């Protein structure tokens, strides 16, 4: 059995505009200059406290107040019906295809809160897809391996059969720190060269390439699948 862990922001879901808007509201709400969108995209994937600290760049800003303001901004946007973060092209088809396989289980490892993941699942009709959901609510920030280790513990699947699919160096390093594998995606928020340097086994340009990347990662599973098909 294989464990496939997806990052959310920048991997499954294009949420950069919502994240940048919430950051702007949080910082301006405290009378602070908003960070540039490029700086915000660079920290997507980290837990909120770590992200705010990096954005503060050594300045003595009220980190916890910024975190609270960010959460309140998302609550406001959801209540107003302006929460719009689409799935990337091909994401739904890839998830549905993998869910039909009997040799893998799917999970999430994200810097989002559990509430944020629940909003994604409800909005995009992904109920019952992910058997393990690891978030910043209960685990240390990426690149700490805690999320991957807990997902493996919950599913009973070892690191040699676990892969993290993500768009940031934090995802790649998290997988490496857990002795798992990592596949990067090129459509997210970090440069492809950085993903390779951080430990990606491969980087795909669209979800249509995911099956081939997984087969290359686990060639024995591919050979066994062909053998089973031949005996059918």
For the chain, the three-class secondary structure string (H helix, E strand, C coil) is CEEEEECCECCCECCHHHHHHHHHHHHHHCCCCCCCHHHHHHHECECHHHHHHHHHCCCCCCHHHHHHHHHHHHHHHHHHCCCCCCECCCHHHHHHHHHHCCCEEEEEECCCCHHHHHHHHHHHCCCCCCCEEECCCCCCCCCCCHHHHHHHHHHCCCHHHEEEEECCHHHHHHHHHCCCEEEEECCCCCCHHHHHHHCCCEEECCHHHHHHHHHHHCHHHHHHHHHHHHHC
The whole-number pLDDT of residue 78 equals 80
The whole-number pLDDT of residue 220 equals 64
The whole-number pLDDT of residue 227 equals 41
Domain boundary among the residues 50, 80, 110 is at: 80
The whole-number pLDDT of residue 226 equals 45
The whole-number pLDDT of residue 223 equals 40
The whole-number pLDDT of residue 159 equals 98
The whole-number pLDDT of residue 222 equals 45
Task: Identify whether residues 135 and 204 lie together within a single domain.
Answer: yes
Q: Which stretches of the chain drop beneath a pLDDT of 70?
A: 220-232
- Which domain, by its residues, includes 175? 2-13+86-231
**Residues designated catalytic:** 7, 9
Domain boundary among the residues 32, 55, 80 is at: 80
Task: Identify whether residues 32 and 62 lie together within a single domain.
Answer: yes
């Amino acid at each position: 059995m294989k464990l496939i862990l997806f990052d959310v922001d920048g991997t499954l879901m294009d949420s950069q505009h919502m994240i940048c808007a919430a950051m702007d509201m949080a910082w301006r709400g405290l009378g602070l200059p908003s960070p540039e969108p490029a700086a915000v995209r660079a920290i997507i994937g980290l837990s909120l406290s770590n992200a705010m600290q990096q954005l503060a760049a050594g300045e003595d800003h009220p980190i916890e107040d910024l975190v609270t303001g960010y959460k309140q901004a998302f609550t406001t946007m959801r209540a107003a019906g302006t929460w719009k973060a689409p799935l990337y092209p091909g994401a739904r088809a890839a998830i549905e295809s993998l869910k039909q396989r009997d040799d893998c289980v799917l999970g999430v490892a994200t810097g989002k809160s559990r509430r944020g993941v629940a909003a994604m699942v409800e909005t995009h009709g992904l109920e019952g897809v992910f058997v393990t959901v690891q978030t910043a609510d209960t685990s240390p920030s990426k690149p700490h391996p805690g999320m991957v280790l807990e997902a493996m513990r919950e599913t009973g699947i070892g690191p040699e059969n676990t892969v993290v699919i993500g768009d940031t160096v934090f995802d790649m390093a998290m997988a490496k720190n857990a002795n798992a594998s990592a596949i990067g995606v090129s459509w997210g928020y970090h440069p492809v060269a950085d993903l390779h340097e951080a430990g990606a086994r491969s980087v795909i340009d669209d979800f249509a390439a995911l099956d081939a990347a997984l087969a290359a990662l686990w060639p024995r599973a591919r050979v066994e699948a062909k053998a089973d098909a031949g005996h059918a």
